[in-house]
């Protein structure tokens, strides 16, 4: 990500692109995923583009904790508090936008491909 080409998430945060926003704080925005992989599929996105992935976000434990807390709050609101929190790190792991974000997944479709 460069200053000349902001990520799709930066463009959503700046309201250059539309999104179904479900929550927003000073530091975070949460939106519905446009290609849901579960009954509930939300993205929790820090408003800063300073971190490409969760390994970089680990250098900011306060912001990482805010991401997890908002994910839990959204899961309580939309999915009785039960959810899967996924961070893809790297293209081969499925990361397609290199602006850190967490996937909040919940619902019946999670029964398939269960991780223990």
pLDDT tens per residue across span 30-50? 999 999 999 999 999 999 999
pLDDT at 108: 73
The three-state DSSP-derived secondary structure of the chain is CCCCCCCHHHHHHCCCCCCCEEEECCCEEEEECCCCCCCEEEEEEECCCCCCCHHHHCCCHHHHHHHHHHHHHHHHHHHCCCCEEECCCCHHHCCCCCCCCEEEEECHHHHCCCCC
Residue-averaged pLDDT of the chain: 92
Return the CATH superfamily for domain 8-108: HIT-like (3.30.428.10)
Q: Tens digit of pLDDT for each residue in 43-73?
A: 999 999 999 999 999 999 999 999 999 999 9
Q: Would you list the domain boundaries of the chain?
A: 8-108
**pTM to 2 decimals?**
0.90
Is 41 assigned a catalytic role?
no
Task: Label residue 5 by pLDDT band (50, 70, 90).
Answer: confident
Residue 95 has pLDDT above 50, yes or no: yes
């Amino acid at each position: 990500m460069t200053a000349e080409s902001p990520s799709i998430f930066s463009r959503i945060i700046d309201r250059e692109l539309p999104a179904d926003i479900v929550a927003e704080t000073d530091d975070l925005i949460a939106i519905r995923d446009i290609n849901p992989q579960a009954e509930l599929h939300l993205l929790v996105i820090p408003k800063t583009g300073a971190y490409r992935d969760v390994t970089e976000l680990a250098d900011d434990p306060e912001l990482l904790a805010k991401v997890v807390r908002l994910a839990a709050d959204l899961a309580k609101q939309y999915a009785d508090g039960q959810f899967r929190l996924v961070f893809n790190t790297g293209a081969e792991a499925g990361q397609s936008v290199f602006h850190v974000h967490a996937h909040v997944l919940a619902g019946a479709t999670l029964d398939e491909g269960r991780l223990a």
